[in-house]
A and B are shown apart, each in its own frame.
Chain A
Amino acid sequence: MAISALASGIVPNRLARRQYADNFSDLHPRLNDHEAMVAADQCYFCHDAPCVDACPTEIDIPLFIRQIATRTPEAAAKTIFSQNILGGMCARVCPTETLCEQACVREVAESKPVKIGQLQRYATDALMDSDIHPFNRAASTGKKIAVAGAGPAGLACAHRLAMKGHDVAIFEARGKPGGLNEFGIAAYKTVDGFAKREIDWLLQIGGITLKPGVRIGGNLTIRQLKADFDAVFLGIGLGGTGRLGLENEDMAGIRDAVDFIAELRQAGDFSTIPVGRDVVVVGGGMTAIDAAVQSRLLGALNVTLAYRRSLDMMKASRHERDLATSKGVRIITGAVPVAIRGNGSVEEIEFEYSDDNLEPTGHKFAIPADQVLKAIGQKLADADLPETENGKIKTTGAGRTSTEGIWAGGDCTLAGDDLTVTAVAEGRDAAEDIDRCLMS
């Protein structure tokens, strides 16, 4: 029985059962053959195509679209995977409107880019559905490499290293691999256990041993890894979170958005996830949007996303914001949280309007809130790392850290930019660099 949507407090079962299935269905279902042909037909096969430059993994987009148009989606998939082994996930989660599709010359001509992301999904699904792994391992080199973190950066690095014949051990702190693919990305972007399926498929390359439940820095130190392996790659993401610095911040009903999302991603049955009636999300990035949208989809009656600067400074793209507002999320900008009130658990949160430099204006307002989700950025959780700057690992070139023999990539580095695809690119490039160093 669904509890009334009007019940206050953080409770599960706000919706009728079948509504959960509707709400969390695939955001952009796979194109059918006809749709794919029509979409592929739009590509001009540009020379030195701007979309390729705009893709952090530099997939040969015109080529793979031509391969779709000539009805060889499997060949298209191989073109994609040879640059980006997580091309399946990226096809689902990349904010293409700010990457490849923004650069599409059709965007200039008609404000309507070629549907690159959806075509990428069409191709990668075709190959993965047939359970073909299109790459073979090179002969064994006898070299051993440790990868810390089984997120996009670590997986991409491990796959490329394995392909080159090295033996790779991935140490993953959590009990399950995938990083934010498994614990972070919005549920409606990666339905039907795709994150897990993708990893199973990727591991078919062979030569990769996955060691879940092992946190580097605990009993096993980086120093130990360095001693035991020929090279080390750190793809540990950003496990820590920021704080608002307000009194009552630890009151019941207030939590980090990433934890809320991780729980939701692991739930299996969305109706069991408790959610407030009046949810306030603080933040302006992808995490904030995802937390807000998914709160609505779980049945929260009022969801407000409050960002401290103006709309055009939000990290979430216009496309993401439009998605949020279309799901009934209210977006307030220029609002800095100044007080949390409640009696045992949170009841309202007060904001003060401020300008883009966060100068307070003196104008305040309060919103009722039985749940507050903080999405104000993540940071490194680990100590004892190579040199860091602004709380992230410093790298030069293809992910070289200040310590020889240790590479890093993805969110945990200064070069990371909170994108799955960037993490993949950095993992891959570090692998190439490691290979060059070990084999020369």
Chain B
Amino acid sequence: MADLTSNFIGIETPNPFWLASAPPTDKEYNVRRAFEAGWGGAVWKTLGEDGPPVVNVNGPRYGAIWGADRRLLGLNNIELITDRPLGINLKEMTRVKKDYPDRAIIASLMVPVNEDCWKEILLRVAETGCDGVELNFGCPHGMSERGMGSAVGQVPEYVGQVTEWCKKHTCLPVIVKLTPNITDIRKPAQAARDGGADAVSLINTINSITSVNLDSFAPEPAIDGKGAHGGYCGPAVKPIALNMVAELARTKSLQGLPISGIGGIGTWRDAAEFLALGAGNVQVCTAAMTYGFRIVKEMISGLSQYMDEKGFSSIDELVGRAVPNLSDWQNLNLNYVAKARINQELCIKCGRCYAACEDTSHQAITMSKNRIFGVDDGECVACNLCVNVCPVEGCITMEQLPPGSLDERTGKTVVAQYANWTQHPNNPGACAAE
């Protein structure tokens, strides 16, 4: 079995699966259960200043959207940081870390933008024996109204400033957790790096309203007839998170900045994709909240089977492997030509490919009287829509036209040579290929 040991900014854990700062890590009881189930680390639910803790609403905190069969696809929450006293959390962290020395405990922190506040909490947190701190610059609701969370994360200067203070006042590794509620994720990441961060983690939740009650006209989740926007997470946000992680991983000025990938991870495959796109480890929240801590067993067995199959002996061999293949659109090979192909043996004749292509695309799917579906190469632009709407996986595939064959749509012979938009005659700014 492959070795899943992970070393993220010097923090060694038996596997790269950590629980993200959220309700699953809000107390000793939960974190112990998580470690028993096999999680490699836990970022404790965000701690605030000493003194009277924040209070949460006493009605629903969550809204959700579901796919077929009521599978939870997206979760939205209006929960604040921990509403338990700082002292209790710190005591619990100390106890858990002592009992699970091989697992990581990271303290997630959020205090006002004031050096003394950060200094004070950092000193207290260090006494727990925890392995690092994560600065929560991401919470997009409630706390941001108080000038914390995403209110900090959206201003790169603040991000840099607070990171600097933290590096100054603690020797623990500092992870900066970024908010996705920003136009260019590279800016706060750069600020964190410039401030001395050891790593960034992303994404926190995305501003969202999941639904509106059409009788009471209140956005859900509604508290006494009123709603507020919340933070979105779960499977639905994975593509957004993956893109943001990848953006950082391929940015030159951020090379070498470790990334903890978060957002919509629920299976070993999701995790492997984040790792391949440059994350050094991953954090999980919604999937654990949906299915319980036991899902980590599948993540462990799946990732190790995959690594065995690929012949990877350590996580590092996987990390970043897909990054070189991420490029800008303008660099994609325009001489690569594919066509849709329908496997008649697998086809169940639902006709969804036909509806999709005929009504909304290129009229390239043909249909005979007895419901045999085919592809008209003269029209097919290889857009992949039919593949994506087909209910049978592998029934429709995109097959590359080999160089030398005729693309019936353009009437041109497919050439082997790579050519992209920057060289294309239709591009007014094209520069001729060398």
A333–B405 Cα distance when bound, in Å, is 71
Could you say which of B295, B305, B346, B394 contacts A45, with CB atoms under 8 Å apart?
A: B295
Known: A34-B393, A75-B302. 20 other contacts (CB 8 A): A33-B393, A33-B394, A34-B392, A37-B393, A45-B292, A45-B294, A60-B297, A62-B294, A66-B267, A66-B298, A67-B298, A69-B267, A70-B267, A72-B298, A72-B301, A72-B306, A74-B305, A75-B298, A78-B301, A79-B301
Q: In the complex the two chains form, is A72's CB within 8 Å of B268's CB?
A: yes
Nearest chain A CB to B296's CB is how many angstroms away?
A: 10
The one of B295, B301, B346, B394 that contacts A75, using a Cβ cutoff of 8 Å? B301
Per-residue A-contact encoding for B289-327, CB less than 8 Å = 1, 0 else? 001101101100110011000000000000000000000
Any chain A CB within 8 A of the CB of B69?
A: yes
A230, chain B: closest CB distance, angstroms: 31
Q: Is the CB of A63 within 8 A of B297?
A: yes
- Residues of A in contact (CB 8 Å), total 20
B95 CB within 8 Å of chain A: no
* A34, B390: Cα distance in complex, Å: 12
Q: Which residues of A contact B394 (CB under 8 A)?
A: 33-34
B269 within 8 A of A: yes
**Cross-chain contact A71 with B295 (CB below 8 angstroms):** no
Q: With A and B bound together, what is the CA distance between A272 and B350 in angstroms? A: 46
Tell me, yes or no, whether A361 is within 8 Å of chain B by CB: no
Among A33, A37, A63: residue with most chain B CB under 10 A: A63
Shortest distance from the beta carbon of B63 to any chain A beta carbon, whole Å: 21
Cα–Cα, bound, A403→B297 (Å): 41
Q: How far is the CA of A69 from the CA of B295 in the complex (A)?
A: 12
Take A66-B295, A70-B267 as given contacts and tell me if A42 and B302 are in contact as well, using a CB distance cutoff of 8 Å: no
Closest chain-B Cβ to A171's Cβ sits at a distance in Å of 35
The main secondary structure of chain A at its interface with chain B is: helix
**B:28-70 near A, CB below 8 Å:** 69
Q: Is A197 an interface residue (CB 8 A)?
A: no
| Complex alpha-carbon distance, A63 and B299, angstroms | 10
A–B Cβ pairs within 8 angstroms, 16 of them: A33-B393, A34-B346, A47-B292, A66-B295, A66-B298, A67-B301, A67-B302, A69-B267, A70-B267, A70-B268, A70-B298, A72-B298, A72-B301, A74-B305, A75-B298, A75-B302
Contact with A along B388-399 (1 / 0, CB 8 A): 000011100000
CB distance from A122 to the nearest CB of B (A): 15
Q: Are A72 and B392 in contact (CB under 8 A)?
A: no
Q: Which of B335-353 contact A (CB under 8 A)?
A: 346
For A69, list chain B residues within 8 Å (CB): 267
Q: In the complex the two chains form, what is the Cα distance from A42 to B68 in whole Å? A: 10
What sequence of 0s and 1s flags, for each residue 36-61 of chain A, a beta carbon within 8 Å of any chain B beta carbon?
01000110010100000000000010
Shortest distance between the CB of A79 and any CB in chain B (Å): 7
CA distance A50 to B110 in the complex (A): 42
Contact of A63 among B267, B298, B346, B392 (CB under 8 A): B298
Instruction: Determine if B301 and A71 form an interchain contact, defined as CB atoms under 8 angstroms apart.
Output: no
Instruction: Give min CB distance, A87 to chain B, whole Å.
Output: 16
Bound together, the chains give a CA A63 to CA B294 distance in angstroms of 8
Which of B297, B298, B393: most chain A Cβ within 10 A?
A: B298
The main secondary structure of chain B at its interface with chain A is: helix
How far is B393's CA from A60's CA once the two chains are assembled, in angstroms?
27
CA–CA, A37 and B294, complex, Å: 21
User: Is B69 a contact partner of A70 (Cβ separation < 8 A)?
Assistant: no
Interface string of B259-302 (1 = CB under 8 A from A): 00000000111000000000000000000000110110110011
Query: In the docked arrangement, what's the CA distance between A34 and B306, Å?
Result: 21
Q: Which of A33, A62, A70, A75 contacts B269 (CB 8 A)?
A: A70
With A34-B393, A63-B298, A67-B298 as given contacts, are A42 and B305 in contact (CB-CB < 8 Å)?
A: no
Shortest C-beta distance, B53 to chain A (Å), equals 29
Q: Provide the bound-state CA to CA distance between A351 and B88, in Å.
A: 78
With A34-B393, A67-B302, A78-B301 known to touch, is A41 a contact of B69 (CB < 8 Å)? yes
Q: Which of A33, A71, A78 has the most chain B CB within a 10 Å cutoff?
A: A71
8 closest A-B pairs by CB:
A75-B301, A70-B267, A66-B298, A72-B302, A45-B291, A72-B305, A75-B305, A70-B302
Measured between alpha carbons, how far is A215 from B268 in the docked complex, in Å? 50
Chain A 71-97, CB-CB to B under 8 Å as 1, else 0, gives 110110011000000000000000000
Residues of A within 8 Å of B69, CB to CB, are 41-42
Using Cβ atoms and an 8 Å threshold, which residues of chain B touch A75? 298, 301-302, 305
| A78 / chain B contacts, CB cutoff of 8 Å | 301
Cβ contacts A13-49/B at 8 Å (1 or 0 each): 0000000000000000000011001000110010100
Q: For B346, what are the chain A residues with a Cβ–Cβ distance below 8 Å?
A: 34
Q: How far is the CA of A72 from the CA of B297 in the complex (A)?
A: 12
**What residues of A have a CB within 8 angstroms of the CB of B267 in the complex?**
66, 69-70
Q: Which residue of the partner chain B has the closest CB to A65?
A: B298
Which residue of chain B lies nearest to A34 when distances are taken between CB atoms in the complex? B392
Give min CB distance, A140 to chain B, whole Å.
22
In this complex, which of A42, A74, A75 has the most chain B Cβ atoms within 10 angstroms of its Cβ? A75
Minimum CB–CB distance for A31 against chain B, Å: 14
A72-B295 Cα distance, complex, nearest whole Å = 14
Measured between beta carbons, the chain A residues less than 8 angstroms from B393 are: 33-34, 37
- Which residues in A have their C-beta under 8 angstroms from that of B291? 45
Identity of the chain A residue whose Cβ is nearest the Cβ of B308 in the assembled complex? A74
- Return chain B residues, CB-CB under 8 Å to A71: 269
- Chain A residue nearest in CB terms to B346: A34
Q: How far is the CA of A37 from the CA of B392 in the complex (A)?
A: 10
Name the distance in Å between B17's Cβ and chain A's nearest Cβ: 14
Count chain A CB atoms within 10 A of each CB in B267, B346, B394 and give the residue with the most. Answer: B267
User: Once bound together, how far apart are the Cα atoms of A34 and B267, in whole Å?
Assistant: 19
Give the Cβ gap from B394 to chain A, nearest Cβ, in Å: 8
- What's the nearest-Cβ distance from chain A to residue B256, in Å? 31
**B230 CB to nearest A CB, Å:** 25
CB-CB under 8 A from A63, the residues of chain B are: 294, 297-298
- A67 proximity list for chain B (CB < 8 A): 298, 301-302
Q: List the B side residues contacting A60 at CB < 8 Å.
A: 297
- B67, chain A: closest CB distance, angstroms: 10
**Complex alpha-carbon distance, A34 and B395, angstroms:** 10
